[in-house]
Chain A
Amino acid sequence: MSVLDADIIVRLTRLACGQDDVADLTKPLAGIAVDMHSKYDSMSFLMSEANSLKALPNLQPLVSNLNPMSTQLDIDYIAELARLALKADEKIRLTGQLEGILDYIQQLQNVDVEGVEPTAHAFSIYNVYRADEPGPTFTPEEALMNAPLLASGKRAIREDQLVVPKVVE
């Protein structure tokens, strides 16, 4: 069972039944702190993820009374967010490798960070401004000199603009 699935289970269990009821199920996945899921309490989101659990037979009773929608939170969902069209074998390989890495980084969940400020930057410097003075600009030729090459051998440029397949709003 993957860590990704484990996350979903823990979250679902908080929704569908008490923490204790599924202790047995989640035991092999110990180390996943519950607080990591506190941010997600949206019922609809959890419902939408139930579908991905169908494959896990021992969870059937747990998810049977949920009404799953088609969305899945798994490598497909993450790859879509990241806009990476992964091939099937890539997905399998990546999932396996990521599980190992995620397992490894779980050790952070055991660190006491109560009252510790996060470090976003190496140093606390504020108000790094620039004066409002205009600088030089590219000509359209410079701006588009690296425009992607199309199969035709031409660059994806028309009327000094970049061409992309029509964006449907």
Chain B
Amino acid sequence: MEYEPVIGLEVHVQLKTKSKMFARAPYHFGAAPNTLTDPVVLALPGTLPVMNKEAIWQTVQVGLLFGCKIAEVCKWDRKNYFYPDSPKGYQISQFDQPLCLGGTVEIELPGPARNIEGVHRHVQLTRIHLEEDVGKLSHQGADSLVDFNRAGVPLIEIVSEPDMYSSDEAFSFLTAIRMALVYLGVADCDMEKGQMRCDANVSIRPKGSTGLGTKVEIKNLNTISGVRNGIEFEIARQVELLNRGETIVQETRRWSIEDGATFSMRSKEKAHDYRYFPDPDLMPLKFEKTEVERLHGLLPELPFDKQRRFYQAYDLPYTITSVICPDKGFSDYFEAAVKCYNNPKAIANLIANDLLRELSLAVADGALPLEECKIKPEHLAALVECIDKGSISRQIAQDVFIQMFKTGQAPAQIIQEQGLEQNSDLGALEAMCQQAINENPHPVAEYKAGKEKAINALKGKVMVLSQGKANPSLVDEMLKTLLQKP
């Protein structure tokens, strides 16, 4: 029998606020252990949580971005469980009144080839809620070490419906979420830094049927490759079980990168009852319609919407939009440049090819961030304009571009200072060279007689005529050409 997988994802994303969710301590990745704590983070006796307004509004924005319904009123609940990385013995979360309900995430499936656009579809969301992160455990022999730096960082949980049908879709879903949240500027979503984490619910069913099979929860899909590989493994495992006539047990399994397999998490603790109840230390939230509408007005255009607009407005190909649109920086840069000079295709090409290449060449590891790029959008536009007007050749333009990248100078300045302008400049130069030849028959004769150094005297005359602005090598070339004429 042929089976079809059904996948739901739970994605946790750290918001990059300046302070933690309910405590004022800051957080950044990679700090020395236990340097980002305060009395509230450590849950010292007597400490109390206070909501970070920014984290709440960011979550509302995320909800609006995905078309969720924003709760009019919602509260905070305590999820009670003991774990060494959970300082309070409970996690402040949202149980039955999440901030955001429903919504969809648009995803693009991989196309048949890299340069061909894939199919788009919308994955249904169940809810998005806000909670706080826990500390970090690392293991040393018979011990575990606890670092509470990460404890209390605002964490949104995006829960999808079981509405994905391949590991590719799951991967695309994650990519789409990351793209959107980075666009919004609320998260960095770097899985390697734990800023985005993913659990998956995987079940399989006979192809064509509509029911749902027994679901298995996969935890620890915390790398880009883990999401795809872990789900793939689990689908194959379940298919194999059914093909052998066995049944699938509803359980939680853990993905192990090292083993490339999932393992049952038969936890020693049998008692799992989170005893949710409203947190009496925190007041509920109420959202005014006008405030939510104001936030709605501040939302950025989603990457896929931008892509569609770029097709329409600028007639750009997929190979270009698929590079520029997923990154808000590049697409804003592009549109700023197009505003200065209207040749979108050439500008987009320069960004998608030359600029991207230089940025990645600029640093040994990764790429230079666009914010640190010295070329201003108006200068890039001006360079395209120069090419279009034929004032420099495409060949020269390459050199100018690299110099712009290094110095941040305007193209006009580089072209002028180095006399790179073709046509008019060459005409003037030719006139000056001819004048020098006409007025100095002696060195001309010497040169023609085989004394090559005699040309230097002519060069000097040209430099005087050009008031020093002529490009010496061009003068040399031009004089030689003219002197060879019969």
Contacts and interface: CB of A to CB of B under 8 A. Distances in A.
A162 B51 contact: no
Contacts of A19: none
Nearest to A70: B270
A158 B140 contact: yes
A134 B26 contact: yes
B359 to A, nearest CB: 31
Contact of B53 (A71, A131, A137): A131
Contact of B24 (A130, A143, A165, A166): A130
Interface stretch (B59-67, B176-184, B195-203, B275-283): B275-283
B139 A166 contact: yes
Contacts of B53: 129-132
A67 to B, nearest CB: 17
- The range of chain B's interface size is 35 or more
B36 interface: yes
B474 interface: no
Of A143, A164, A168, chain B has the most CB atoms within 10 Å of the CB of A143
Given A133-B18, A135-B26, 8 more contacts: A81-B273, A120-B278, A129-B50, A130-B51, A132-B17, A143-B42, A159-B145, A161-B147
B285 A127 contact: yes
A140 interface: yes
A130 B52 contact: yes
A58 interface: no
B37 A143 contact: yes
B108 interface: no
Interface in B148-163: 148
A167 B145 contact: no
20 contacts: A126-B283, A130-B19, A130-B50, A130-B51, A131-B53, A133-B24, A135-B23, A135-B25, A135-B38, A136-B24, A137-B37, A143-B34, A159-B33, A160-B32, A160-B33, A161-B34, A164-B144, A166-B141, A166-B142, A167-B139
Interface in A117-166: 120-121, 125-140, 143-144, 158-166
A44 B137 CA distance: 34
Contacts of B19: 130, 132-135
B311 interface: no
Nearest to B145: A161
Contacts of A166: 139, 141-144
Contacts of A120: 75, 278, 280, 284
B25 to A, nearest CB: 5
B254 interface: yes
Contacts of A114: none
B146 interface: yes
B285 A163 contact: no
A169 interface: yes
A129 B21 CA distance: 10
A124 B23 CA distance: 23
B286 interface: yes
A130 B38 CA distance: 16
B298 interface: no
B271 interface: yes
B214 to A, nearest CB: 14
A126 B143 contact: no
B254 A163 contact: no
A158 B143 contact: yes
Contact of A138 (B42, B145, B273, B275): B42
B55 interface: yes
B294 interface: no
Interface string A60-88: 00000000000100000100110100000
A99 B173 CA distance: 52
Interface string B283-294: 111100000000
A139 B35 contact: yes
Nearest to B51: A129
Given A121-B280, A158-B143, A127 B286 contact: yes
A118 to B, nearest CB: 8
Contacts of B17: 132
Contacts of B144: 163-167
Contacts of A135: 19, 23-26, 38
Contact of B84 (A121, A158, A167): A167
Nearest to A162: B146
Interface string B118-147: 000000000000000000011111111111
Contact of B38 (A131, A136, A164): A136
A80 B143 contact: no
Interface in B49-104: 50-56, 73, 75, 82-84
A125 B214 CA distance: 44
B242 interface: no
Of B139, B140, B145, chain A has the most CB atoms within 10 Å of the CB of B145
B464 interface: no
Given A80-B270, A139-B35, A144-B34, A129 B143 contact: no
Contacts of B269: 80
Per CB-CB distance, the 3 closest pairs between chain A and chain B, nearest first, are: A135-B24, A132-B54, A129-B53
Nearest to A76: B271
A30 B91 CA distance: 37
B396 interface: no
A165 B142 contact: yes
B16 to A, nearest CB: 10
